[in-house]
Structure 1
Amino acid sequence: MHFIFKPFTEHINFTGDLKADIDLFLSLNQCSDTAKHCFDVGAESRRLALMFDANPTSAETAGWLHDISAVFPNNERIDAARQLQIEILPEEERFPMIIHQKISKVMAKEIFNITDEDILNAVGCHTTLRANPTLLDQVLFVADKISWDQKGTPPYINELNRNLQESITHGAFAYINFLWVRKETLKVIHPWLTDAYEDLKDKVRLV
Structure 2
Amino acid sequence: MNAAYDKLRKIALTGNRRADIVSFLQANGKEETAEHCARVGQEARALSIRAGADPEQAELAGYLHDVSAVFPNEVRIEMARSLGIEVLPEEESFPMIIHQKLSRAMGEDLFRIHDPAILSAVECHTTLKQQSSLLDQVVFVADKIAWDQAGTPPYLHELKLALDQSITHAAYVYIDDLWQKKEQLRVIHPWLREAHEQLKAQLNR
Is the TM value for this pair above 0.5?
yes
Work out the CA distance in 1 between the residues paired with 2:176 and 2:145.
Answer: 15
Residues 110-156 of structure 1 show CA distances to partners (whole Å, capped at 9, x for unaligned) of 10000100000110000000001000000000000000000000000
Q: SS at 1:8's partner residue?
A: coil
Contiguous gaps of at least 5 residues in structure 1 = none
Q: Which amino acid aligns with 1:97?
A: M
The aligned residue for residue 17 of structure 2 is 18
Residues 158-178 of structure 1 show CA distances to partners (whole Å, capped at 9, x for unaligned) of 111111111110000000000
Q: Which amino acid aligns with 1:37?
A: H
Post-superposition offset of 1:24: 1.1
Q: SS at 2:45's partner residue?
A: helix
Post-superposition offset of 1:15: 1.7
Q: Which runs of 4+ in 1 moved over 4 A?
A: none
Contact 1:66 1:123 in 2 (8 A): yes
The aligned residue for residue 74 of structure 2 is 75
Alignment map for 1:41-190 (pairs within 5 Å)? 41-190=40-189
Post-superposition offset of 1:9: 4.2
Work out the CA distance in 2 between the residues paired with 1:44 and 1:166.
Answer: 18
Work out the CA distance in 2 between the residues paired with 1:4 and 1:74.
Answer: 14
Post-superposition offset of 1:3: 2.1
The aligned residue for residue 191 of structure 1 is 190
Q: TM-score under structure 1 normalisation?
A: 0.97
The aligned residue for residue 3 of structure 2 is 3
What is the aligned residue count?
A: 205
Q: Which amino acid aligns with 1:119?
A: I
Work out the CA distance in 2 between the residues paired with 1:184 and 1:192.
Answer: 17
Contact 1:67 1:100 in 2 (8 A): yes
Q: SS at 1:188's partner residue?
A: coil
Work out the CA distance in 1 between the residues paired with 2:203 and 2:130.
Answer: 13
Q: SS at 2:187's partner residue?
A: coil
Work out the CA distance in 2 between the residues paired with 1:58 and 1:121.
Answer: 11
Q: SS at 1:7's partner residue?
A: coil
Contact 2:49 2:55 in 1 (8 A): yes
Q: SS at 1:35's partner residue?
A: helix
Identity over aligned pairs, percent: 55
Residues 1-59 of structure 1 show CA distances to partners (whole Å, capped at 9, x for unaligned) of 3221133244x222221111111100010001000000000000000000010000000
Q: Which amino acid aligns with 2:167?
A: I
Q: SS at 1:110's partner residue?
A: helix
Work out the CA distance in 2 between the residues paired with 1:84 and 1:14.
Answer: 21
Contact 1:8 1:25 in 2 (8 A): no
Q: TM-score under structure 2 normalisation?
A: 0.98
Q: Which amino acid aligns with 1:153?
A: T
Work out the CA distance in 2 between the residues paired with 1:168 and 1:105.
Answer: 22
Work out the CA distance in 1 between the residues paired with 2:102 and 2:16.
Answer: 22
